[in-house]
Amino acid sequence: MSAPRQHPLANVDWLTVIVYGIMVLFGWMNIYSAAVVDINPSPFDISQEYGKQFMFILISAFLALLVLYMEGEFFNKFAIFIYGTFILLLGLVLIIGTTVNGAKAWIQIGGFALQPAEFAKIGVGLMLAKYISNTKTRFNSWKPRFMAGLIIGLPAVLILLQPDVGSLLTFVAFILALYREGLSGNILIIGLGAVVFGVLSIITGFNRINYPFFGEQSGVFVLMTIVFVIGVIFMFLIRNFIVPRNRRKLYLITFLSTAAAIGFSYSVNFLVDGVLQKHQKTRIYVTLGLEEKEEDREAMLSDAESADAAAVTTKKKDDPGYNARMAKIAVGNGGLIGQGYMKGPMSKNKYVPERWTDFIFSVISEEWGFFGSFAVVALFVFLIVRIINMAERQRSQFSRIYGYCVASIFFLHLLINVGMVIGLAPIIGIPLPFMSYGGSSLMGFTLLLFIFLRLDAERLSVFR
Amino acid sequence: MNQYDGRKITIILIVCVIAIIYVVRLFFLQVVNSTWKEQATALTEEEIPLYPPRGIIYDRTGKMLVTNQTVYNLMVVPKKAGEFDTTSLCKLLRIKKEDIDNLFARARARGEFHRPQLLVEQITPSDYAAMSEQLYKYKGFFAESRTLRVYPQSVGALFLGDVGKISPEEYKKNPYYTKQEYLGKSGIEKAYEQELRGVKGINYAFRDNVGNIKEHAGDKEDMPATPGTDLICTMDADLQVYGEKLMQNKRGCIVAIEPSTGEILAMVSAPTYDPNLLVGRVRGHNFNVLNTDPQKPLFNRATQAQYRPGSIFKLAQSLTALQTGAITPQTRIHCNRGVIGCHGGHSNDDLEMAIVHSCNPYFREVMHRVVEADRDGSSRFKDARLGLEIWQGYIMQFGFGTDVHCDIPGVKTGSVPGVKFYDKWYGKEQWAFSTIYSLSIGEGEMLVTPLQMCNMACVIANKGWYVPPHTVKQIGLGGMPREEYMKRYQLGIDSSHFTTVINAMEKVLQPGGTAWRAAPKDIVVCGKTGTVQNAGGKEDHAVFICFAPKENPKIAVAVYTENAGFGGTWSAPVATLMIEQYLNDSIAESSKAREKTILDANFLDR
Ligand SMILES: [Zn+2]
C-alpha cells in the first residue's frame, strides 16, 4: 500500500460498466412494457413499478459511485464486519420482518421494503474470500471444508427459516467459486450425479406399482432393486477379474456407493413425498414433465375457445403448471424478431405471471423475439466470462475469490431464472439480475458487481 | 500460477455449455416450433364478428314488407356492478329486485360472475332512449344492440319466410356461420339468404387472462361488414292481403302468378298468421303454438300440399292428346257411363264441350287413345308401356312431378306415375290402360301441388311455355331476377292446340258453365273447376284454376279450398275476386255479394 492514490475512477473496467448500464436500462424498458396496461403514462410515475424501478436505478447508480470512490482495502478489512451485519439483518428479519407471499423476508423502512437475503450474498462472497485468502487453504482437509460450509450455511439456514427456497438455492453458486480454489472436482461430479439420480428417483417414485407380496408401493423400489443388482454384479466382477490385493478396497467402494445410492434414492423420494408441501411437490413434477400432459394442453385450448375460458383461466392461475405453460407460450410467441416492444399479446393481456419480476425474461422474449432473448443470454455470458477473466488477472487472492463468487452468483441466477421461463428448471422465484423489478435485488447486484470493479481497479496497486 | 489455474477453463466451459443449451432451446421454442404461437393466438385473440344489416324486402309496388328494427339487450357484469341503488334501477328497467338477485346468484353458481349476463331482453329504441340517460350511473350495466326482422304489412308469412338461430346440421354444413348466428329458415329469407345476409366483417380484439375483451391495437386490419342486398319481391302486397282475407276461416291456398314472367303475385296458405309473431322474445312460445295447431298454419299448402288433381287435369290431358294426334278438336266420344260415372245432361260432346261439361267417359277414352295407340301390336301390355312413357313425358313438361324450378325452399314435386311405378306396383307387363284409367280424370296415383296447377294455368295462358314461378323480381333495387327466371321453358305442344282448350275454359265461366256464377263483370276469365274426392268420407276439396283476361293474360290463379265441396261454388269466386282485385284494384258492386258469401264461409271445423 504505497503508491500515491490515483483518481478513483482510473482503471475501472468501463466495458463492464457499459454492459451493466445496458442491462439495467433494457430491464427498466421492459418493466415499463410489462406493467403498463392500457394507456401509456409517464415512465417516471413513482406510484408505479417502472417509476420505482427508475428510482432504484438512481439509488443503485449512487451506490455504485460510492463504492468506486471507496478504497478496495476497506472490503478486505471489514469483510467479517459486513458479513456479520448481514447475518444480523437476516436474524432481525425473522423477528420484525413483514411477510409477503408466505416468506418473512422483508424489512420495512419508511415506504420501502428491503430484502436482506439479496444483500447477504455480498457478505458471504467477501467472507469466503477473506477466509480462503487468509488461510491459503486448498480444501484438502475437513476443517476448511467445514469452515467454508459454515460461512455459506449460516445465512442459508436463516433464509430457509423465512422460508425463501429461491434465495437459498443461489447459495449453491459459491461451490463453483470454491471449486476454482481447490475444492475437489469430485464434489461437482458427485453433485451432478446426485441430481441425475435424484431426478430418476422422483420420476420412478411418481409411479405407483403393484408389487407381488407387498401390494401397491412407490415405483422407486424398482430403481433401488436395480441399483442393488448392479452392486452385486460389480462384486462378482471384482472377485473374478481383479487381483486379490486390490479387491478389499474395491469391495468397500462398491458396497458403500451402492448403499449410498439406495439410501439417497429413498431419502429423495421420502423428502418429495413426505416432507414437501403439495404445491412444492407439484412444481417439481411439472418441471420434470410428470404432470400436465398433452391432453391437458388440448383441454386448455378448447376451454380457451369456449365461452368460459375466463373462468378456466382464473381457476388455473394459481397452478404452477399453468404459470410455466403461460411463460413458455409467451416465449414461443416471440418468434424470430418478436411481437414488438409493448405489443406482446401474452404479456400485455396479463397471461404471463409475475411479469415484471421473476418472469421478465418471458416478456422480453415475446416482444423482442429470439434476437432479444439470445442477446440477453449473450450479454450475461459475456459479463460472467469477463468477470472470470478479470478475476484471473488479480494479484490478490482475495479479489480473485470474490470475483469468482460474483460470476458464480450471476451464473446461477441466469441458470435458474431463464431455465424456469423456458421450462428447463423448476419454477423457483429468483430475479434475473439487473433486469427484474425490485430495489433490493438491483441494489444488491449492483453492490456485488461494483465492489469487484473497485477491487479490480486497484489490482495494480495491491501487491499481494 | 498453481495447479488449479486450469479450472478457469472448466468453469467457463460449464457456463458456455449451459448457455448453448438455453439458446438452442430458445431457438426451438421461438423459431422452429410454431405450436406455441398457435396457442398464444388461441388464448389471446378474439375475432369479434361485425354483423351487417340484413337486406330489406319490398313488394312489387315498393311497399316495405320486411325491414330491420334495432332492439337493445341490457347486460350486466355482476363483478363490476359493485354496490348500487337497486330500487331506482329496478324502477328504471321495470324489473323486480329478485330478477337481479336471481341473475347474480345464477352467474355465481356457473362461475360466470365476471362475464356479461343478460338482464333485460329486447328493449325497444324508445324505451332504451329513456333508460340510457340514467344508465351511466350504474357500473357494469350496459346495452348491446341487436337487429330483429319486422313485417310492417303483417302479411305473407310463408312467402317471405322467417329467420331463426342456426341449427347444428346447418352449422355443420356451412362454415360461414358461427354457432350463435341467425339465418333464413324458410321462404325468401332462406332462398335468398346469401344476398340478404351481406358479408360479415371482423373486428380483431384481444382477450385478457380473465376474459375481458379489449380493442385490438395490433397489426391485423379490421374488416368492415358489407350490408345485405335489398330485394324487390314479386308479391303484390294488396293482393296478398286480400287473398289472406278471402281465405279466413278456411283451410287451403291461393297461388297467383303473372303468366308472362312467372312472378308469383300472391301465395296464400290458410290459415295464416302474422309473421311478426315469430320474431324476437315471443318467437319460441309462438312457434310452439303454431307448430302444434291442428290446422297446421306453418305448413305451406301452396307448395307442400300434394293433392290429387281432379278434373282440372283434363286440360293437360286434352293438350297431350291433341299433340300426339290421338284426337282432334272435333273428336266426339259417347258419354258411356258404364265404366266411369258422369254428371249433367250430355251424351256425345266434342272436345270443347267435354271440357266444359268435364265429361269423365270422354277423357277416359282420350287417354286410352294416347296410351294404347297400337305402337306395339304384339300385346296391349307392351303397348301401354310405350304409351304411358310418352304420356308421362308430356305431362311432366307442364311441371308436374318436378319442382317447377321454383325458388321457394321445400317445394314438393308431387308425382306423375310412369312405367317404372306401375311395373313395381303390378309387375312388368301385368298392367294395361284398363288398370290405370283413373289417371285420365286426375284421380288415381297422380299427385300435384297447387303451385304446379297454377303453373299449368300459365302454360295455357301463354299457349305453350312458362317461366318458372319465382318470388324475387329484383336483386338489389333496380336489379335483375336470378338468371334462370329470365328464360322460358317451351313445351313441345303447338300453340294452335291451345285455342280449343282456352275457348272451353272461357265457356266454363259463361252461363251453363260449371263456374258461371263466379264470373266478374267486364273481365273475360278462362277457368276450370275441379272437385277432388277425399278419403275418409269428408267433404271434397274445391279446386279452381283460371287466368284473365283471355287476350294477353295478366294473371293466373289456382285456388284450393279443403273440404269445402264443389269447386265452382267455393274456389272459383275466390279466384275471380283475386283477379278483380289485381286487375281493377277494387271489387265492383256487382261482385260484393259473392265476396260476402266467401268471407262469411267457414270450413275450418270440417
Ligand atoms: Zn259425360
Whether the per-residue pLDDT at A280 is higher than 70: the answer is no
Give the residue among B412, B417, B418, B416 at the shortest CA–CA distance from B449: B412
Q: Which three cell numbers stand for residue A207?
A: 409411479
- R_g over Cα of chain A: 25
Q: Is some CB atom of chain B closer than 8 A to the CB atom of A342?
A: no
A residues 106-145 closer than 8 Å to B (CB): 138
Distance between CA A280 and CA A289 in Å, rounded? 14
Contact B347, B300 (CB under 8 A): no
Contact list, A329 vs chain B (CB under 8 Å): 36, 39-40, 43
**How far is residue B241 from each of residues B54, B73, B286, B301, measured CA to CA in Å?**
24, 33, 22, 17
Going along B433-554, which residue ranges are E strands?
465-466, 472-475, 489-490, 526-532, 541-548
DSSP letter at B471 equals S
Distance between CA B356 and CA B510 in Å, rounded? 10
Q: How many CB atoms lie within 10 A of CB B593?
A: 10
Mean per-residue pLDDT, A353-358:
88
Contact B461, B556 (CB under 8 A): yes
Whether the per-residue pLDDT at A461 is higher than 80: the answer is no
Distance between CA B460 and CA B479 in Å, rounded? 29
Query: How many Å lie between the centroid of ligand 1 and the Cα of residue B540?
Result: 20
B129 within some domain:
yes
Collapsing DSSP to helix, strand or coil, B331 comes out as coil
Please report, rounded to a whole number, the percentage of residues in chain A having pLDDT higher than 70: 87
Of B16, B42, B210, the CB nearest to A310: B210
* Residue A103, burial from CB neighbour count under 10 angstroms (0-12, 13-18, 19+): buried
Are B26 and A384 inside 8 Å of each other by CB?
Answer: no
Are A349 and B214 inside 8 Å of each other by CB?
Answer: yes
Alpha carbon of residue B484 to chain centroid? 18
**pLDDT band, very low/low/confident/very high, at B447 (cuts 50, 70, 90):** very high
Q: Which three cell numbers stand for residue A268?
A: 429423495
Are A332 and B39 inside 8 Å of each other by CB?
Answer: yes
Contact A51, A415 (CB under 8 A): no
Residues B274 and B404 in one domain: yes
- Residue A89 one-letter amino acid: L
Contact B492, B322 (CB under 8 A): no
List the Cα angle B69/B72/B74 in 5-degree steps: 170
Extents of the domains making up chain A? 14-183+350-457, 191-275
**pLDDT band, very low/low/confident/very high, at A257 (cuts 50, 70, 90):** confident
Q: What is the mean pLDDT of chain B?
A: 89
Residues B455 and B513 in one domain: yes
Alpha carbon of residue A330 to chain centroid? 22
Whether the per-residue pLDDT at A300 is higher than 90: the answer is no
- Residue B494 one-letter amino acid: D
Sequence-separated (6 or more) residues with CB below 8 Å from residue A93: A104, A105, A106, A107, A116, A162
Of A182, A313, A424, the CB nearest to B25: A424
ipTM for the predicted complex comes to 0.85
For residue B6, the distance in angstroms to the closest alpha carbon of chain A comes to 9
Mean per-residue pLDDT, A259-272:
82
**Which stretch of B87-101, B222-236, B565-579 has the lowest confidence by average pLDDT?**
B87-101
Residues B268 and B159 in one domain: no
DSSP letter at B538 equals P
Going along B259-416, which residue ranges are E strands?
263-270, 333-334, 348-349
DSSP B356-378: HHT-HHHHHHHHHHHH-SSSSTT
Contact list, A353 vs chain B (CB under 8 Å): none
List the Cα angle B317/B315/B381 in 5-degree steps: 10
**What is chain B's percent helix, strand, coil content, to nearest 5?**
40, 20, 40
DSSP A57-75: HHHHHHHHHHHHHS-HHHH
**How far is residue A241 from each of residues A230, A231, A245, A246, B398, measured CA to CA in Å?**
16, 15, 12, 11, 106
Contact A432, A418 (CB under 8 A): yes
Q: How many domains does chain B have?
A: 2
Counting Cα atoms < 13 Å in the Cβ hemisphere of B108 gives: 9
Query: How many Å lie between the centroid of ligand 1 and the Cα of residue B332?
Result: 11
CATH number of the domain that B215 lies in?
Answer: 3.90.1310.10
Q: Which three cell numbers stand for residue B280?
A: 324476437
Contact list, B111 vs chain A (CB under 8 Å): 308, 311, 315
Query: How many Å lie between the centroid of ligand 1 and the Cα of residue B449?
Result: 26
Most confident of the following: B95-109, B425-439, B490-504: B490-504
Contact A31, A50 (CB under 8 A): yes
Question: What's the pTM?
Answer: 0.68
Residues B492 and B569 in one domain: yes
B residues 542-561 closer than 8 Å to A (CB): none
Crossing angle of helices B313-324 and B380-397, rounded to 10°? 110
Q: Which helix (H) or strand (E) holds A210?
A: strand A208-211
Distance between CA B184 and CA A242 in Å, rounded? 91
Structural domain that includes position B142: 52-233
Residues B220 and B260 in one domain: no
Are A332 and B112 inside 8 Å of each other by CB?
Answer: no
Of A270 and A116, the structure prediction assigns the larger pLDDT to A116
Q: What is the mean pLDDT of chain A?
A: 83
For residue A332, the distance in angstroms to the closest alpha carbon of chain B comes to 4
Residue-wise pLDDT for B542-551, tens only, equals 999 999 899 9
Mean per-residue pLDDT, A88-104:
85
pLDDT given for residue A47 in this prediction: 82
Query: Which residues in B385-415 are b (16+ Cβ under 10 Å) and which e?
Result: bbbbebbbebbebbbbbbbbbbbbbebbbbe
Beta-carbon pairs below 8 A across chains A and B: 147
Residues B69 and B168 in one domain: yes
Contact list, B216 vs chain A (CB under 8 Å): none
Interface with chain A: mutation pick from B43, B212, B215, highest number of A CBs within 10 Å: B43
Residues B229 and B251 in one domain: no
Mean per-residue pLDDT, A299-311:
43
Contact B231, B58 (CB under 8 A): yes
**pLDDT band, very low/low/confident/very high, at A4 (cuts 50, 70, 90):** low
A residues 29-68 closer than 8 Å to B (CB): none
CATH number of the domain that B493 lies in?
Answer: 3.40.710.10
List the Cα angle A426/A428/A433 in 5-degree steps: 120
Place of cell 352449422: B171
Number of H helices, E strands in chain B: 24, 20
Residue-wise pLDDT for A225-250, tens only, equals 888 898 888 888 888 887 788 788 88
Sequence-separated (6 or more) residues with CB below 8 Å from residue A455: A72, A75, A394, A396, A398, A399, A402, A403
Sequence-separated (6 or more) residues with CB below 8 Å from residue A262: A224, A227, A228
Residues B314 and B341 in one domain: yes
Contact list, B112 vs chain A (CB under 8 Å): 308, 311
Sequence-separated (6 or more) residues with CB below 8 Å from residue A383: A16, A19, A20, A23, A410
Residues B314 and B227 in one domain: no
Contact B46, B215 (CB under 8 A): no
Number of H helices, E strands in chain A: 19, 5
Residue-wise pLDDT for B17-52, tens only, equals 999 999 999 999 999 988 888 888 888 887 777 888
**Which stretch of A361-375, B115-129, B318-332, B478-492 has the lowest confidence by average pLDDT?**
B115-129
**pLDDT band, very low/low/confident/very high, at B347 (cuts 50, 70, 90):** confident
pLDDT given for residue A113 in this prediction: 83
Q: Which three cell numbers stand for residue B18?
A: 449451459
Q: Is some CB atom of chain B closer than 8 A to the CB atom of A163?
A: no
pLDDT given for residue A263 in this prediction: 86
**Which stretch of A101-105, A345-349, B325-329, B338-342 has the lowest confidence by average pLDDT?**
A101-105
For residue B146, the distance in angstroms to the closest alpha carbon of chain A comes to 19
Distance between CA A176 and CA B492 in Å, rounded? 102
Q: Is some CB atom of chain A closer than 8 A to the CB atom of B88?
A: no
Q: How many CB atoms lie within 10 A of CB A22?
A: 13
pLDDT given for residue B234 in this prediction: 96
List the Cα angle B59/B65/B67 in 5-degree steps: 130
Q: Which helix (H) or strand (E) holds B144?
A: strand B141-150
B22 within some domain:
no
Of A311, A346, A381, the CB nearest to B19: A381
Interface with chain A: mutation pick from B14, B24, B29, highest number of A CBs within 10 Å: B29
Residues B136 and B249 in one domain: no
Distance between CA B351 and CA B479 in Å, rounded? 45
DSSP B266-287: EEEEES---GGGGSGGGHHHHH
Distance between CA B13 and CA B378 in Å, rounded? 106
Q: Is some CB atom of chain A closer than 8 A to the CB atom of B25?
A: yes
pLDDT given for residue A462 in this prediction: 62
Of A136 and A313, the structure prediction assigns the larger pLDDT to A136
Q: Which three cell numbers stand for residue B436?
A: 290405370
Of B11, B30, B44, the CB nearest to A332: B30
B335 within some domain:
yes
DSSP letter at B310 equals G
For residue B109, the distance in angstroms to the closest alpha carbon of chain A comes to 12
Give the residue among B405, B314, B299, B409 at the shortest CA–CA distance from B355: B314
Q: Which three cell numbers stand for residue A125?
A: 462472497
Q: Outline where B28-124 has alpha helix (H).
A: 35-44, 78-81, 86-93, 97-109
- Bridge partners of B546, per DSSP, are B527, B557
Mean per-residue pLDDT, B483-500:
93
Distance between CA A234 and CA B181 in Å, rounded? 73
- R_g over Cα of chain B: 34
Q: Which residue of B has its CA nearest to A377?
A: B19
Residues B130 and B212 in one domain: yes
B208 within some domain:
yes
Query: How many Å lie between the centroid of ligand 1 and the Cα of residue B343?
Result: 6
Q: Which three cell numbers stand for residue B516?
A: 258461371
DSSP A84-122: HHHHHHHHHHHHHPEEETTEEEEEEETTEEE-HHHHHHH
Of B15, B22, B39, the CB nearest to A384: B15
Residues B361 and B400 in one domain: yes
**Which stretch of A58-72, A378-392, A403-417, B534-548 has the lowest confidence by average pLDDT?**
B534-548
DSSP letter at B313 equals H
Contact list, A176 vs chain B (CB under 8 Å): 11, 14
For residue B556, the distance in angstroms to the closest alpha carbon of chain A comes to 54
- Residue A96 one-letter amino acid: I
Are A332 and B45 inside 8 Å of each other by CB?
Answer: no
DSSP A278-294: HHHHHHHHHHTT-SS-H
Contact list, B45 vs chain A (CB under 8 Å): 345
